[in-house]
Every structure is written in structure tokens, then in C-alpha cells.
Amino acid sequence: MSEDRTVDNAHAMPPLLKLATEMGPLIAFFVANAWGGIFWATGVYMVTAAVALAVSWTMTRKIAIVPIVTLGFVVAFGALTLILADETFIKVKVSIINALFGAILLSGLLMGRPLLKLAFGEAVNLDAQGWHKLTIRWSLFFFAMAGLNEFVWRSVSTDAWVNFKVFGLLPLTVLFAVAQIRLMQRHMVEEQSPSA
């Protein structure tokens, strides 16, 4: 009974609020940069990311590891950006997080543990080959995003980089995720209706 309540709790967040907690910090970052520059934007991003995580935990009593790690990097690199008055830290944070996620996924694969399965939880049930392929694809994607971010922030103005972070990285991630649906469908394991 308590397990059922936990599952219900995990899905208790209304869709619009869930979207707001996921997109809110990025939108706030973009608006604050346009209004007051990168240092204001960094401070606003740190606060709104923490608030979004707190709201998510309050509503669901459950937090995935990825948002926690991301918030840790946002706070650490945001603090360095503000204390040292050097915007390089907030820019390179994106590269480091993506490279770290890529390395973690590949390391898990080398140890025979598809860590991506933990991120998806029970929402997706794939066979071993499916998890293997999906993990490789996502790890390569994360490395590619790290490289792309490094190229962009070193090549364009800060305002252009902010636009790329908000309107470039997110759509690319969504498109990549959508592109993986066919692979996931091919390797989906049917638990209760094998004839379906």
C-alpha cells in the first residue's frame, strides 16, 4: 500500500508545474542576461535552479540523481563566476557536465551496468542489447554537446552563447531523444502481454 502511495506521489506534479520546474531556470537565465548581463543571469540561475529542485521534491518527495548533480555544478561554477567575476566558469560548466555524463555512462557500460537504466527508472523496460545501444548513443551525444559548447562559447559573444544555451542545446537534446524512440521500440520488453 505504501509503495502505491509512493508511485502516486511521484506522478503528483501537474504537467505545467513540471514543465515550469524544468524550463523555468533556463528562461530566467535568458531573461536576466538580457536585463542585467551574465553575472546577474548566473545569480538568478543559481537561485531558480535551487527553487525548482525544492518544488520538485516538495511535490513528489523524490529527486533523480541527474538534477542533483546538475544543481551542484550550477552552484559551484556559478559561485566561481560571481566570486572571481569571470564568466568563463558558467560557460565551461555546460561542457564539463556533458562530458561527465558521457564518461559516467561509458564507465557504467564498461562495468556491465547500464546506468542509463537508473535515469529512466521503471518508465522504460528494454532488453540488454537495447540498453547497451541506447547508452552508447547517449554517451556519444553528451560528448558531442560538450565539444559543441566549447566551440560555441570560444567563438561567439556572451549574449550569443546564452542564446545557444537556451535555444540551441535544449532543442538538440529533445530532437536527439525523439530520434531514439525507434531504437527503444525495437528493444522494448513486454512484461505482461508477450503476444501483443
84-88, 97-101, 128-132: least confident range: 128-132
The C-alpha atoms of residue 14 and residue 153 are separated, in whole angstroms, by 35
**82 compared with 116, residue with greater pLDDT:** 82
Instruction: Give the other-Cβ count within 10 Å of 3's Cβ.
Output: 7
What is the grid cell recorded at 145? 554537446
Best CA proximity match to 42, nearest among 151, 158, 155, 156: 158
1-10, 36-45, 111-120, 159-168: least confident range: 1-10
Report pLDDT for 12.
64
Q: Is the pLDDT of residue 13 over 60?
A: yes
Q: What is the mean pLDDT of residues 101-124?
A: 84
126 SS3 class: strand
Task: Give exposure, 163-193, as e/b (b: 16+ Cβ within 10 Å).
Answer: bbbbebbeeeeeeeeeeeeeebeebeeeeee
Report pLDDT for 57.
86
Q: Is the pLDDT of residue 9 over 80?
A: no
Domain ranges of the chain: 1-84, 87-191
Tell me what the pLDDT averaged over the chain comes to.
87
